[in-house]
Every structure is written in structure tokens, then in C-alpha cells.
A = this chain, B = another copy of it.
Amino acid sequence: MIIVKRNVALLGGTGTIGQRFVKILEDHPFFDLTLIVGSRKKAGKEYGRAVHWLLGSEVPGYVKNLKIEEFKASLSEEKDIDLIFSALLADVAEKYEGILRTQGFAVFSNSGAYRMNNDVPILVPEVNPEHIKLADFQRERYGGYITTNPNCSTYGLAMILKPLEKYGIKRVFVSTYQAISGAGYPGVSGVDINGNLIPCIGNEEDKIRRETKKILGEYRKGKIRAWEIDILASCVRVPVRDGHLESVIMEMEENTEIREIKETLRSFKPLADLPSAPSRPIIIREEDDRPQPILDAYTREKDRAGGMSVVAGRLNISDRYLRLFLLVHNTIRGGAGNAILNAEYALKKDYV
């Protein structure tokens, strides 16, 4: 596939997710990040000065001196932008992503603003690629379209449930162990989280339930019928920098050999080759003490697919209860990385 590189804009590039966008988009084969849009307070400053950089020693050279621009309604005319990535917080996202959609842009968003809208997909290309067809309906209505990411703790669950669906899942119970970076920056106070646990993350528990049911829902004629299986989640913030761990218990229709279940998960590779698509979407670890955030959050992969897999471990089944732990990198696959993969997929499917 010959790719003509597209110019992309990033909305909200200085937060924990925004920084990941900047990092992953460096030398991207499909996209050139040429515009970073920020709040009035940051507009006019060079990115390298405006950002409190959290991802290793230095701000990537290619954006260091890029001036952050304020949002303008005329964005579409001034710059030769082909598509938009958004790392905005939900409250401002609603406004700006909406405007850009009406201007005909494809917006690949990490924000929650439009996630539960009927005509907006929560897209995970390995899980529900056909949901991208909702973009057709949005285009008719608005000119452009929005796709969203799931919440950072939802992605891993959806990825695991998809290939297991065929075994008959009756109910899903999830308890999360969520990293600090998931709360943004400055996010959680060091006084609160140091050596402590906070059993409360906004309305994350409800998001996991509703978003997972939508992602796994069936697409038919412009509508998504939510997955009917019930999901209960309990969410806790833990003193870990990156990587959300989840303890998952699934009540199944029947017992299946754990060996078969592992093989099903391992061989789940529904997506053709894309730069950010991991060669192993689901990695199964056999050790009895894995996955662990420090060791497993950043999965090593070719190119830019590092941190894009979900890692599962300690799988076992008994009395029809299938249990496992899963881990996702919350700011890569659970954030910027998924939106970029969505855009790569959209490009390939001629949606950009």
C-alpha cells in the first residue's frame, strides 16, 4: 500500500495522553504532526516550553519549537490539515470536536465526550472494525465524523472478551488496579497516593460497563445493539506510574480446557498489518506472578506497536469460572496509541 502522508493536527498536546500522541507520531509513516492546538494560556508558546514533559529525557526535536496555536473556527482553511487527533478533556472536547466534525474533519479522539453517542463508534480495530461504518452516517449528518477510544481501563477487557465470546460468557466481574498517569497531570496528589490506595475513580466503573457493552455490540444498519452480558467493575487507583492491571472473573456457559482458551487468545490476530498494530494483540504469560506493570506494561514489538498489546496471565477455569489478570499500558494502547491505530485503520479503509 502506497501512502501519501497526511498532515495531522493534535488538540490538547501537553497532557499525559497528548504527550504520548507526540511521541508515537514521531516519524510516523502515515502522518505528519504539523499543528498542535492548545488552550489560550499555552497558545503562542513553543511546545518544548509549554509542556511539562513526562516521557523520558527530552521533548522530541520535531515538535520542540512548534508553536502551540489557539483553536480557531477557521482552522480548516489556514492549515492544510487532513485529520485530527484529540487528547482534550471531555468538557472542552465536546465543543471543539463537534465544530471540527461539522467542518468535515475526521476526528480521532481519546476523549469521552462523544463515546456514548449513538452514531459515534468506540473503535478498537481488532475488536469491532465494522463499527467504523457509523462514520458514514455521521458524514451524512455533519460532513465529518468522530471516532473515540474506550476509557483506558476498558480497552483491555474488550480485547479479551471478544475472542472468548464464542465460549458463552454469562457474567463478567472486574476489579482494577489503575496507574497514576491515567488520571492526567497533575491528576492525583502525591500526598494521597504515596503508599496508599484510593478506591474511587470518577464514574469509571459505569464507563467500563457501558463502553464494553457498546464495543462488543453488534453493528447493524447504522446502529449498535449493546452486548447483553452483564459487567460489574470496581476501580482503585494504586501507586504505580503506568499500566492498568485488572482482575477478571468470567462466569462461562461451560468449562473449556484452559489450554484451548489460551490458544484462542494467543491466535486472536484479526487485523492486517498496520504500523501501530501489534503482531500479538494478546500476549499470554505462563509465569505464576505476571503480568506486572513494571515488567509488562510496555510490550516490546516492532516499530511503533510497543505497549499496544494486552498481556494476560494466571488464566484458570474451574466450575465454569474463568479467571485471569490482564494488563494494558493506559496511555499507549489505552490512550494515544489506540486513536492512532484507529486513524491508520480508517486510512486503509478509505475513511480518510
Q: Which residues of A contact B (CB under 8 A)?
A: 16, 53-54, 56-58, 173, 175, 177, 180-181, 183, 185-200, 230, 232, 234, 236, 238-241, 245, 247, 249, 283, 288-296, 298-300, 311, 313-314, 319, 321, 323, 325
Cα–Cα, bound, A199→B240 (Å) = 14
A57 with B300: in contact, given A180-B194, A245-B197, A245-B199 (CB under 8 Å)? yes
- A237 → chain B closest CB, angstroms: 9
A307 to B236, CA, bound (A): 22
Residues of chain B within 8 A of A175, CB atoms compared: 175, 234, 247
Are the C-beta atoms of B292 and A234 separated by less than 8 Å? no
Asked if A325 and B234 sit within 8 Å, CB to CB, the answer is: yes
**CB-based contact B189/A56 at 8 Å:** no
- Residues on B with C-beta less than 8 A from A194 are 180, 190, 193-195, 239-241
22 contacts between A and B (CB under 8 A): A53-B295, A57-B299, A183-B191, A188-B191, A194-B194, A194-B195, A194-B240, A194-B241, A195-B239, A195-B241, A195-B293, A197-B238, A197-B293, A199-B245, A199-B289, A199-B292, A232-B321, A236-B325, A238-B238, A238-B239, A239-B239, A241-B294
Q: Closest approach, in angstroms, between the C-beta of A136 and any C-beta of chain B?
A: 35
Find out whether the CB atom of B230 lies under 8 angstroms from the CB atom of A319.
yes
- Give the residues in chain B near A313, CB-CB below 8 Å: 199
Contacts of A296 in B (CB 8 A): 57
CB distance from A53 to the nearest CB of B (A): 8
9 further interface pairs, Cβ-Cβ under 8 Å (given A177-B177, A181-B191, A183-B191):
A54-B191, A56-B300, A57-B283, A185-B189, A194-B195, A198-B292, A199-B313, A200-B288, A230-B319
Residue of B nearest to A53 (CB): B295
